[in-house]
């Protein structure tokens, strides 16, 4: 079994030089999000850990930090899911099979997998927060016997904005996955839970000494999810959050992600709640 070690970023002289990766597959999965499977040059592997990110670039347009969405167990290819919200991403939406995309990284610190082996994993994903957490989910599934329960809470604004619907169906069909999905506002065909993601937490039966929570989503979600988990007496040091939304250059040069001297792109984006609890600006 492939265990995740601390993945080192490129050597200093390579930090600013993108590797040209080829689009192997691409698919529009919602109105705003497009999924890409990228192929590394022959013989190379991205070598990322769950929770890490890459800098994605199109020459003449710019670059942006994007979370890796695939399991590290895959060799030679990796996956991204990109929301179309700006100049670069609206250019990338036109990229199809055979096109090339510049990639720098992987960067940052992901989930400390050595602390998660043998634990129950509680995933709390809001909206596009499922994208980076999908890497962790699929790594757990690839190494299923190394972990306890896998509980996935996923919320979106509407049914149309739910990501990876085919995989949601696959996870729901598995006996070793506990999937709970909610939307803020349903439609005429929606039969699932309606409400914000914290409405899924009170009914959970958690083993407090073995459960580790991984949370990613919009900023407004974090405080309320943490409050809900703490109301169930889950210890602070068993809660992890990603602050990837704050990043820009990925290498600690631009200062965009700095919070009171903490650089999210280098010391994160995944943080233990204990470490960022004193930083009011973080949540």
For position 174, which CATH number holds?
3.40.50.80
| Domain assignment of residue 257, yes or no | no
Maximum CA extent, the chain: 55
State whether 151 and 217 are in the same domain. yes
Structure token digits, residue 138: 């699929």
State whether 77 and 24 are in the same domain. yes
- Final residue of a structural domain among 72, 107, 142: 107
Output phi, psi for 134, to 5 deg.
-60, -35
State whether 237 and 117 are in the same domain. yes
pLDDT tens-place string over residues 118-176: 999 999 999 999 999 999 999 999 999 999 999 999 999 999 999 999 999 999 999 99
| Domain assignment of residue 66, yes or no | yes
Q: How far apart are the first and last CA of the chain?
A: 35
Dihedral Cα 226, 228, 231, 236, nearest 10 deg: -20
Dihedral Cα 94, 99, 102, 107, nearest 10 deg: 80
Using DSSP, state whether 120 is helix, strand or coil: strand
| Domain assignment of residue 263, yes or no | no
Residue 43: which CATH number?
A: 2.40.30.10
Contact of 138 with 121, CB cutoff 8 Å: no
- Final residue of a structural domain among 107, 126, 145: 107
State whether 85 and 171 are in the same domain. no
State whether 173 and 226 are in the same domain. yes
State whether 100 and 158 are in the same domain. no
- Final residue of a structural domain among 62, 89, 107: 107
Distance in angstroms (rounded) separating the CA atoms of residues 122 and 131: 15
pLDDT tens-place string over residues 49-78: 999 999 999 989 999 999 999 999 877 899
State whether 63 and 117 are in the same domain. no
State whether 167 and 204 are in the same domain. yes
State whether 130 and 230 are in the same domain. yes
Contact of 92 with 58, CB cutoff 8 Å: yes
Q: Can you tell me which residue has the tokens 């040069």?
A: 253
Residue 2, pLDDT score: 40
State whether 51 and 131 are in the same domain. no
Smallest Cα–Cα separation from 206: which of 169, 238, 182, 237?
238
State whether 100 and 136 are in the same domain. no
Q: Strand 239-242 relative to strand 270-272: parallel, antiparallel, unpaired?
A: antiparallel
Number of domains in the chain: 2
pLDDT tens-place string over residues 214-250: 999 998 999 999 999 999 999 999 999 998 766 777 7
State whether 129 and 215 are in the same domain. yes
Q: Strand 178-183 relative to strand 193-194: parallel, antiparallel, unpaired?
A: parallel
What residues make up the domain containing 96?
Answer: 12-107
Whole-model pTM over 0.95: no
């Amino acid at each position: 079994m492939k265990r995740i070690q601390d993945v080192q970023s490129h050597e200093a002289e390579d930090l600013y030089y993108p590797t040209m990766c080829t689009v192997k597959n691409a698919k529009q999965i919602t109105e705003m999000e497009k999924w890409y499977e990228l192929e590394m040059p022959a013989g190379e592997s991205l070598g990322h850990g769950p929770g890490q990110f890459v800098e994605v670039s199109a020459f003449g347009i710019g670059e942006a930090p994007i979370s890796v969405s695939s399991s590290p167990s895959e060799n030679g290819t990796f996956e991204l899911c990109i929301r179309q919200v700006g100049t670069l991403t609206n250019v990338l939406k036109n990229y199809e099979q055979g096109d090339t995309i510049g990639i720098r990284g992987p960067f940052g610190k992901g989930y400390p997998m050595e602390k998660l082996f043998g634990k129950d994993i509680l995933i709390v994903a809001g909206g596009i927060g499922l994208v980076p957490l999908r890497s962790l989910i699929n790594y757990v599934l690839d190494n299923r016997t190394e972990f306890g329960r896998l509980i996935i809470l996923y919320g979106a604004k509407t049914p149309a904005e739910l990501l990876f619907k085919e995989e949601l169906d696959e996870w729901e069909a598995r006996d070793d996955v506990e999937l709970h999905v909610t939307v803020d506002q349903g439609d005429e065909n929606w039969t699932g839970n309606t409400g914000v993601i914290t409405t899924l937490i009170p009914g959970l039966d958690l083993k407090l000494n073995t459960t580790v929570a991984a949370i990613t989503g919009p900023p407004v979600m974090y405080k309320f999810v943490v409050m809900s988990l703490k109301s169930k007496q889950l210890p602070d040091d068993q809660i992890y959050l990603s602050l990837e939304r704050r990043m820009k250059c990925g290498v600690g040069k631009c200062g965009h992600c700095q919070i009171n001297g903490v650089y999210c792109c280098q010391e994160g984006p995944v943080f233990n709640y204990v470490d960022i609890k004193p930083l009011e600006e973080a949540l």
